[in-house]
Amino acid sequence: MSYAMPSMRAHRAPDDANREFAARLVRAGFVVLGALIVLIGVLIAPIPGPGGIPVIVVGLMVILRNSFKARRHFVRLHHAHPRVISPLRRLLRRRRPQSAPAE
């Protein structure tokens, strides 16, 4: 029989599992939100003006940032049609914070 303090690892594992499950739920929620944004964009696309296309692009950006499967399909599509997909890919790039100019 050991009187030593029990390992904290046994207590950490469920926390990590819960955290991972919560992260997956949040990611799935963002994918659903992105799909709703795309659907709204498709519905407003027939209205005169460019209103639908930017909304669809924003919805696709939300989906691509949160879905590994969608990102994989996007990369395949980019390899097949680089001229069509390149403008959207430029929008998806993360911007680096600009440093202050040196004096």
Look up the pTM and report it.
0.67
Predicted local distance difference test score (pLDDT) of residue 3: 62
First to last CA, the chain: 68
Predicted local distance difference test score (pLDDT) of residue 19: 87
Predicted local distance difference test score (pLDDT) of residue 28: 94
C-alpha span between 87 and 23 (Å, rounded): 30
C-alpha span between 71 and 61 (Å, rounded): 10
C-alpha span between 34 and 64 (Å, rounded): 9
Q: What is the mean pLDDT for each group of 10 consecutive residues in the chain (103 residues)?
A: 56 73 92 95 89 88 90 90 82 67 59
